[in-house]
Chain A
Amino acid sequence: MATDVSNKFDVIVVGAGLAGLAAAHTCAQAGLETIVIERGTKPGTKNVMGGVLYTRPTAKVFPEFWKDAPVERPVIEQGAWLLTSDSAIKLAYRSQRFADDPPNAFTVLRVKLDKYFADQAEKSGALVICETLVEEVLTDGDNVIGVRCGRAEGDLYAPVVIIAEGVNSELTRQLGMQTDLKLDDTASVVKELIRLDPKVIEDRFNLSGEHEGTTIEMYGDATLGMLGTAFVYTNKDSISLGVGFLLSQAVEAAQTPYDMLQRLKQHSMVAPLIEGGETGEYMTHMIPEGGYNRMPQLFGHGVMVVGDAAMLVNGIHREGSNYALLSGQLAAETAIEAHENGDFSGKTLSHYRARLLDETPILRDLRKYRNAAHYVESHPALLSTYPDLVSDAMYEMLNVDDVPKRQKQWEIVRMVLRARSLVGMAWDGIDGARSML
């Protein structure tokens, strides 16, 4: 019956997210027999991201993808809002240069996008098997030799296994490459897709058509002062609205993700943007936030770890999908090299880590921000006291009444000093510079 089907491949990829598909596509293009095992019913169904895809890193793996991939809108304006309970300090940068061909970034919806990338990988010759869970990695001594899937006759063998199973990777733990995650190693993100007429979206966000999109990141009251961000991204006929926050802080504050999102939707700065919209989908996921300090071992004998499974996410700069794509591609290039030399030892596969360091900014950026999250977390004033202060100062300055301006300025200074001492502010600044620069 099925005995004619070989269970031996050149490369096994666990997970058909962006990292796994990039790896599979690259391996298959080089002629390696490649199989991808995905637990979802289709690629993309288990994946959640805010929704911004950067063009140039993506095009390294899938050249000129924007010409036929189902992307939403080019991002021509990026905003950052500092929210208090009733006010917002808004900063935005908009440039027509972002609309150049190709644009710098697109808003995307993963269910559509991942299907497209999976189709590309399949066209290159990779096999994508869905609805199948990889239960464990098969080893022989120190060598990874394959995977065991949760189906009858489910063992597969390959000299290289690329683990791209996403955040909270069981397989890296099984192999001892990663210790158990702690609460503050991951953030939780909840997101709603709110359907609106494209014209309404364009009017509300000052866009001239489908070829323009905007993103807004929100801080401060948007996350109740917790370390995290909320976001509003414009798609073609929907808005992605979400909030992400550190799990450890949400537990402390006894906030459920659902409460956080409902609160955000009712915020006076957000409600008008989504008014009249119909909620299409509600999704929630974990984001790795451990950064450089909590990265697992990235390679071993016969195994490499890519994407979220490798904690390759830069929370400060909202980068994760590009890290996933590039790490998948570099792991694939290393797998190709290993096949050329017939050597799958950790020594050869360590070239994957070297490539991540030398050929991309990924590891250098993550190292730069290794303490940034901890800094924000340990300086709670940043996302609660300071937004209120700036808001009150702005209010005082812009509010026209009988008080002379000089007196207003002094009152602001007094107000600031009441809230936070000069020494405290100085240390906030020094620590911040240390962690970010």
Chain B
Amino acid sequence: MNTAVCIKQVPDTTEVRIDPETNALVREGVPSIVNPFDAHATEEAVRLKERYGGTVTIISMGPPQATEAIKKCISFGADRGILLSDRAFAGSDTWATSYIIAAGLKRLMSEQPVDLILCGKQAIDGDTAQVGPGLARRLNLPQITYAISIEEVNLDARRVKVGRRLETGVEVVEAPLPALLTCVEEMNEIRYASLPNMIRAARYEPEVWGRDDLEVEDELLGFNGSPTVVSKIFAPPEREPGEIIPGGTEDPTGVAAVIADKLIEALGATASV
């Protein structure tokens, strides 16, 4: 059972500020991390390897320093890491990015069978959640988004059974292999890496595949291949704090009455619009 995990190196947004004038992220001096959802996807792939055997391959697109993120995933227990990196890839939007990573995955799949592709549900810097589904479409694979659990992989029947997180609960669906999943962080808890894995990661040098290593067309790469236009960036307004009505334990009836009045008032206001 071989799994490929698509990861992205992102700035640690807990330390990112937004420039009030340009509305752009201030990335200077901000440490880079593995996109948290992708880290959970990697952890899940390593758990699958422990359950079913096989290998875990990490694939990422980014500048040369993104090898650091791949090495981090090696310390989680992945076996192999590939960075798609080339000046020609710079400036890619999600459309071009999924094109390039799909080409990388195609090359990987020509070298070895891949049963499952795992992605994080979205990256915390762009929050688009488009690259995973884009990959599935380009590779013509069934996709299961918001995966919260992998119930079973049946390698004989070539099927996977996956729990999806919905707003109202968990939906369990099946898909034929190979399939692509985008993972949510509740899927697992990332384990503390073992020392041998840390040592392996410190020694590991990820493979780097450039434009010439992939079957791609130049006009579909980078800026040229990116139809997305960012027309405006703005910081969301701060949410106003909610009102807290105390005294629920001492006087539940009274508090309920206050809440009811407020609801009626709010509904009345809406109805009158």
In whole angstroms, what is the CA distance A41 to B31 when docked? 11
B195→A154 contact, CB < 8 A: yes
B202→A5 contact, CB < 8 A: no
B203→A127 contact, CB < 8 A: yes
Q: How many residues of A contact B (CB 8 A)?
A: 18
A151→B198 contact, CB < 8 A: yes
- Cβ-neighbour of B195 out of A1, A4, A149 (below 8 A): A149
Q: How many residues of B contact A (CB 8 A)?
A: 14
A129→B77 contact, CB < 8 A: no
- Cβ-neighbour of A5 out of B31, B49, B192, B199 (below 8 A): B199
Q: For A41, what are the chain B residues with a Cβ–Cβ distance below 8 Å?
A: 31
A5→B200 contact, CB < 8 A: yes
A153→B196 contact, CB < 8 A: yes
Task: List residues 182-214 of chain B with CB under 8 A from any CB of chain A.
Answer: 192-200, 202-203
How does the 8 Å CB contact mask read for B18-37 relative to A, with 1 for contact and 0 for none?
A: 00000000000001000000
User: Of A1, A151, A153, which is in contact with the most chain B CB atoms at under 10 Å from its CB?
Assistant: A1
Closest residue of chain A to B192, judged by CB?
A: A151
Q: For B203, what are the chain A residues with a Cβ–Cβ distance below 8 Å?
A: 127
B194→A151 contact, CB < 8 A: yes
B9 to chain A, nearest CB (A): 15
A2→B202 contact, CB < 8 A: no
A171 within 8 A of B: no
In whole angstroms, what is the CA distance A154 to B193 when docked? 10
B264 to chain A, nearest CB (A): 50
Question: Do most interface residues of chain A lie in helix, strand or loop, or is the interface mixed?
Answer: loop
A47 within 8 A of B: no
Closest residue of chain B to A151, judged by CB?
A: B195
Q: For A128, what are the chain B residues with a Cβ–Cβ distance below 8 Å?
A: 202
In whole angstroms, what is the CA distance A129 to B72 when docked? 11
A311 within 8 A of B: no
How does the 8 Å CB contact mask read for B74-108 relative to A, with 1 for contact and 0 for none?
A: 00010000000000000000000000000000000
Closest residue of chain A to B49, judged by CB?
A: A1
A129→B194 contact, CB < 8 A: no
Q: For A268, what are the chain B residues with a Cβ–Cβ distance below 8 Å?
A: none
B200→A2 contact, CB < 8 A: yes
Q: For A1, what are the chain B residues with a Cβ–Cβ distance below 8 Å?
A: 49, 77, 197
Excluding A5-B197, A5-B199, A153-B194, 8 further A-B contacts by CB distance (< 8 Å) are A1-B197, A2-B194, A7-B195, A35-B199, A132-B198, A152-B192, A153-B195, A153-B196
Give the B-binding residues of A (Cβ under 8 A). 1-5, 7, 35, 41, 127-129, 132, 149, 151-154, 156
Give the A-binding residues of B (Cβ under 8 A). 31, 49, 77, 192-200, 202-203
Name the 10 nearest CB pairs between A and B, nearest first: A2-B196, A152-B194, A5-B196, A151-B195, A154-B195, A127-B202, A153-B194, A2-B197, A129-B198, A5-B199
Name 14 interchain pairs, CB-CB below 8 A, sorted by A.
A1-B197, A2-B197, A2-B200, A5-B199, A5-B200, A127-B203, A129-B195, A151-B192, A151-B193, A151-B195, A151-B198, A152-B194, A153-B194, A153-B195
